[in-house]
Each structure stands twice: as C-alpha cells, then as structure tokens.
C-alpha cells in the first residue's frame, strides 16, 4: 500500500448544488463519491466554487472539493477514476529553489514594487538575498494621498499615481486574481496573499478578488515582511539608467546616486515609458507587441445582474454579477471586455501630464451602483508601426486626444451608447451616472479613434448586447480612453531569463511582456527570482 504523503489530497470535481442547498451538501456528496468510511476523512473542504448561469432559469453552483484521508489517497482516487468519477490526485510541490555556483558582489536589485517586483523580492528575501528594491513612486500612504488629491481636482504627480508607487498598477483596482496561466505557483501566491491579510475565500473561489480597500494593507504587510528579512524598499527612487561595461551590468543610476549591482530584476510595468526609452538607448532589444485600446463601459450593476441571472437577480446566494465577453472577426481582429469591476467606479489612471487614461476599481464588497469594464479592440504593429516604441507612441497620441476632448483639465471624453452607435456627437446621461472622479465631457469617439477601432467597438456593443441583455442599452455610458491594457513592448529574455545583450538584467512582469494581470505578474516575479538563484548561490548571512 502507498505510504501517506505530505501535501496529498483528492480533488473531487463537478459537484453540483442548487441555489438553495447548503454548501456542506457539496462536501457530503464528494465524500460519498469516494466511498470511504467517514472516520478515514481527515479534512474535506470546498476548494473552488464557480457559478453556472448559462441557463438563466436553472442557476447552479459547481464545486471542487478537496479531501484528505488518514491514508491511501492514491488508491481511493484510482478506484473512483476507474468508476468514471471526476477525481484527481493533487500533490502540492513546495516552491524550492536550486542554488547556482555564482557569487554575488552586491545584493540583487529589483526595479519596481508592483506584483512582479513584490513577489520576486519576497522569495529572494525568504532565501536570504536581502534584495534592494527601487520604486519610482511613493509608499502606500503618500501614494493614496497623492492619487486622492488628483482625483479631487489637484495636479497629477507623474511619479506617484494610479500606475506608479507601492503595490504597482493594480493597487487601485478590483484586485481580481484570475489568470489562465495554470502555473502551480499561483497557489503559493494566493496563500501568501492570505497570510498578509487577504480574505481566505480567495483560496476557494473560481474568480477570486481582493478589492482595492484590502489590497492596500496586504501590500504594506508584504513589504514589512521583506524588510524584516533584511530586504529594503526605497521609494521615490527610479532606476533612471543602466551602467553596462562590455555588455554586463555593473551599476544602476538613480536620482540619488549610482547603485552598484551585478543583477537587476527589471519589473517596471507597462507604463514606464521613460524607462523603455532608456533601455532602448542602452542597446537592449525591445519589440513592439499587440495590445488593445478602447473605452470603459458603464452600466447599472442591477441591470447586469438582471441580464445574467434573469428572475434570480438579487438572490442572496448569488455573487454580484460579472461578465467577460469577446468576439473575433474572420480576419482575426478581436473586441472584448476585460478587467470588469462589479459595483465599482471608473478611475482617472493617467501617469503623464496632458494625457487622459481610464481604468476601473472596486472595493472588496463590490457594492457600488455601477458596473464597469474595459471594452477594447486588439491592435497590432500592422496598425501602429513596427519600430520598438510605435505602440507606446500610439497610446500617447490617443491619451493626448482624450485630454483635449475631455476639456484639457483631466476630465474624460464620454458618450452614451445610442449617440455612439448612431455616430452623433454628445452625451445624454440617463440612468447611468458617470463615476469618473474628474468629470466627463460629451464627445464623439468616432473622431478620436481610428475608424477600425470605432467600428469594432460598435460591433462589440451590438454583439454583446445580444449575449447579455442591456449591455447596449441607450444609456450605457462609454468613457475613455482605455490604453493601458497590456504592455506595448516585449523585452526578450533567453531560456535562462536573462536579457541576451545585457548580462545581469532579467526583464520581468507585465512591462517586459511576460504577464497580463496581478497573478501572472506575481508568478513571473517568482520565476525571475528562481532564475536569479539558479545562477547565484545563496549569499553568506550578513
């Protein structure tokens, strides 16, 4: 018989319960499927729950239940599988590093304290590397103050804003933690988030989210742990240049002097435009990559719930309604919704003066009146040019036009769906009140975007209105522009994770083109840290 192994569990999938059934019923059904005597069960809990609302008249929950036995998980799982049950055996692997023979002369440096930099820093700190983290923006408290000042009519701080500062771009967000990368390191990230104060339900929900309110304290606690392990985070200190000798990194120039370094994890995010320009000047390879542009679309949350849940809208067992919609033409052009923020607000998300950018954010409770999401159209180098920074310039041009159309005071251009679909200028506010803090200004998006983007946005609105009733209602509100959907560049790295022509530099996270969202950026941070450790062995304790 197989020995009892640490971290082994049986996952019983596809357990269905109705809206009115107790969640415990799912656990009872799972244990029943395994046909084991109850005393053998050491623990059983719902590992994941998703909602099946495909048939609005018959909404159900679908659970995966994790069962640990006193003994014999492998045998029990095999027996259930032989009977055609949807059962898998899960063995969790600890996140273990292999340490290479290289010796570091200086502590490793990380540029950027977003999810990628945070998790790279955390793993390095736990392994005794005492990383030095440079962050161009402010610490959480001064960042929140700066952002709130801007949102309530003050000037934009180009160094500390919705894109820059402690926690990175997702700090003012819904804190959605969904990803399609399927990397087992995701579980490690979720558990760490919980350890730092995120709600425990993120471990079990199919679509976990933290909410901007909780995320802020989670980030602060994570930083405190890095510091307690010997790491250091220096705020208001951008990496402004790289000093390379014979193609090898030897120091990082900052606003407060040069920092000697033999290795840098570059996790500066997708909005560090001056950093991209600096990297290009220093001879790193940057390639233009596809991304998306469009608008934020706003509805009443109650309307979305009705469209999704039909007669069950408002049922206390149901979560606030979320959607994700997409459509692709025969030629391959896509229009889709993403970064949906149930019960949230549209936020002024610019990081450069004279430009307007939108994004979305919700509190954990998701209890605001409106729902919002990006409605975005895919664009490629064929649309904007093939030079390394052509995509970035395309974003900037749209953001400048939005600044002008929004009244040149950080108001955002906006239109109701009816006027937009009919190609008329103007904004008629109906049931959906704009939530964009700096105010909105009626415009004609058709005059702001290239024609193909406008046409695809119209196609998206109409197509999604057929899938989700109310999506294209006359008073659906469009606010723009949404340009920071993902990085406009990719910074290639070799199999070993290092930039081929800048020895010692590890491009990492969303800005380098290896992530798209909080979870995948965090996981890429872990990968970067593992790649660093694979070359440079653990330093002697200081």
Binding interface with ligand FAD (CB under 6 A)? 111-117, 134-137, 162-165, 168-170, 172-176, 238-239, 267-269, 272, 275, 339, 347, 349, 359, 361, 484, 509-511, 515-519, 521
The nearest distance, CB 341 to ligand FAD, in angstroms, is 7
Q: Please give the full DSSP string across 79-140, using - where no structure is assigned.
A: HHHHTT--EEEEEPPP--PPP-SB--SS--EEE--SHHHHHHHHHHHHTT---EEE-SS--H
For residue 184, the SS3 value is coil
**CB closer to ligand FAD, 143 vs 401:** 143
How many CA atoms lie less than 13 Å away from 356 in the CB half-sphere?
Answer: 30
**CB closer to ligand FAD, 146 vs 275:** 275
Alpha-carbon distance of 235 to 249, in angstroms, equals: 22
CB atoms within 10 A of CB 440: 23
Residue in this structure with the two tokens 């997708």, named with its chain if needed: 270
The nearest distance, CB 429 to ligand FAD, in angstroms, is 23
Residue closest to 56 by CA, chosen among 434, 309, 424: 309
The nearest distance, CB 262 to ligand FAD, in angstroms, is 18
**CB closer to ligand FAD, 137 vs 488:** 137
Bridge-partner residues for 373, per DSSP? 297
The nearest distance, CB 511 to ligand FAD, in angstroms, is 6
**CB closer to ligand FAD, 33 vs 235:** 235
Q: Who's near 488: CB < 8 A, 6+ residues apart? A: 270, 288, 289, 291, 389, 391, 392, 394, 395
Question: 334 φ, ψ to 5°?
Answer: -110, 150
DSSP for residue 310: G
Residue 280 buriedness (CB in 10 A; 0-12 / 13-18 / 19+): middle
**CB closer to ligand FAD, 11 vs 250:** 250
Alpha-carbon distance of 418 to 428, in angstroms, equals: 9
**CB closer to ligand FAD, 115 vs 288:** 115
The nearest distance, CB 483 to ligand FAD, in angstroms, is 11
**CB closer to ligand FAD, 168 vs 504:** 168
The nearest distance, CB 222 to ligand FAD, in angstroms, is 13
**CB closer to ligand FAD, 117 vs 307:** 117
The nearest distance, CB 70 to ligand FAD, in angstroms, is 38
The nearest distance, CB 357 to ligand FAD, in angstroms, is 8
The nearest distance, CB 237 to ligand FAD, in angstroms, is 7
Bridge-partner residues for 49, per DSSP? 63, 205
The nearest distance, CB 94 to ligand FAD, in angstroms, is 24
CB atoms within 10 A of CB 328: 11
**CB closer to ligand FAD, 268 vs 335:** 268
Instruction: Put the strands of the sheet holding 477-482 in their side by side order.
Output: 326-328, 334-341, 370-379, 291-300, 477-482, 412-416, 440-442
**CB closer to ligand FAD, 27 vs 267:** 267
Sign of the torsion angle spanned by Cα atoms 220, 490, 403, 211: negative
The nearest distance, CB 254 to ligand FAD, in angstroms, is 8
Question: 225 φ, ψ to 5°?
Answer: -65, -45
CA distances from 213 to 31, 173, 199, 432 (A): 37, 9, 12, 24
The nearest distance, CB 486 to ligand FAD, in angstroms, is 8
Alpha-carbon distance of 402 to 357, in angstroms, equals: 8
Contact 132, 262 (CB under 8 A): no
**CB closer to ligand FAD, 27 vs 392:** 392
For residue 233, the SS3 value is strand
**CB closer to ligand FAD, 238 vs 465:** 238
Bridge-partner residues for 391, per DSSP? none
């Amino acid at each position: 018989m197989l020995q009892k192994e640490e971290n082994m569990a049986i996952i019983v999938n596809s357990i269905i319960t109705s809206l009115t059934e107790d969640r415990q019923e799912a656990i009872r059904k799972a244990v029943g499927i395994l046909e084991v005597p109850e005393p053998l069960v050491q623990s059983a809990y719902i590992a994941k729950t998703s909602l099946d609302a495909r048939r609005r008249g018959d909404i159900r929950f679908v659970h995966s239940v994790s069962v640990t036995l006193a003994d014999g998980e492998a045998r029990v799982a095999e027996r259930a599988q032989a009977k055609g049950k949807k059962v898998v055996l899960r063995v969790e692997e600890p996140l273990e590093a292999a340490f290479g023979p290289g010796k570091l002369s200086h502590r490793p440096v990380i540029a950027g304290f977003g999810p990628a930099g945070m998790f790279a820093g955390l793993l390095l700190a736990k392994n005794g590397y005492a990383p030095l983290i440079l962050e161009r923006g402010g610490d959480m408290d001064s960042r929140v103050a700066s952002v709130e000042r801007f949102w309530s009519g003050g000037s934009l701080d180009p160094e500390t804003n919705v894109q820059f500062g402690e926690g990175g771009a997702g700090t003012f967000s819904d804190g959605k933690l969904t990803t399609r990368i399927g990397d087992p390191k995701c579980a490690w990230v979720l558990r760490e988030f919980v350890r730092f104060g995120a709600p425990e339900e993120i471990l079990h929900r199919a679509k976990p989210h933290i909410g901007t309110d909780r995320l802020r304290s989670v980030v602060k606690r994570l930083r405190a742990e890095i510091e307690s392990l010997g790491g250091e985070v220096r705020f208001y200190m951008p990496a402004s240049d790289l000093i390379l000798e014979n193609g090898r990194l030897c120091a990082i120039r900052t606003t407060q002097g040069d920092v000697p370094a033999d290795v840098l994890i570059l996790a500066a995010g997708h909005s560090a435009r001056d950093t991209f320009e600096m990297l290009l000047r220093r001879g790193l390879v940057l390639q233009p990559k596809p991304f998306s542009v469009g608008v934020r679309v706003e509805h009443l949350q109650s309307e979305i719930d009705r469209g999704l849940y039909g007669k069950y809208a408002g049922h206390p067992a149901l979560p606030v309604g979320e959607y994700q919609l997409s459509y692709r033409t025969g030629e391959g052009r896509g229009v889709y919704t993403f970064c949906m923020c149930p019960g949230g607000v549209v936020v002024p998300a610019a990081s450069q003066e004279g430009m307007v950018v939108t994004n979305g954010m919700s509190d954990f409770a998701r209890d605001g009146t409106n729902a919002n999401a990006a409605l975005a159209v895919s664009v490629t180098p064929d649309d904007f040019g093939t030079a390394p920074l052509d995509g970035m310039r395309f974003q900037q041009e749209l953001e400048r036009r939005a600044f002008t159309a929004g009244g040149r005071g950080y108001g955002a251009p906006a239109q109701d769906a009816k006027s937009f679909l009919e190609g008329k200028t103007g904004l008629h506010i109906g049931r959906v009140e704009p939530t964009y803090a700096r105010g909105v200004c009626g415009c004609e998006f058709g005059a702001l975007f290239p024609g193909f983007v406008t046409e695809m946005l119209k196609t998206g609105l109409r197509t999604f209105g057929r899938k989700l009733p109310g999506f294209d209602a006359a008073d659906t509100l469009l606010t723009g522009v949404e340009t920071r959907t993902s990085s406009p560049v990719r910074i290639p790295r070799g199999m070993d994770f290092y930039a081929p022509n800048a020895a010692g530099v590890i491009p990492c996270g969303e800005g380098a083109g290896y992530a798209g969202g909080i979870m995948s950026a965090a996981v890429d941070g872990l990968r970067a840290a593992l790649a660093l450790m694979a070359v440079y062995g653990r330093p002697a304790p200081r």
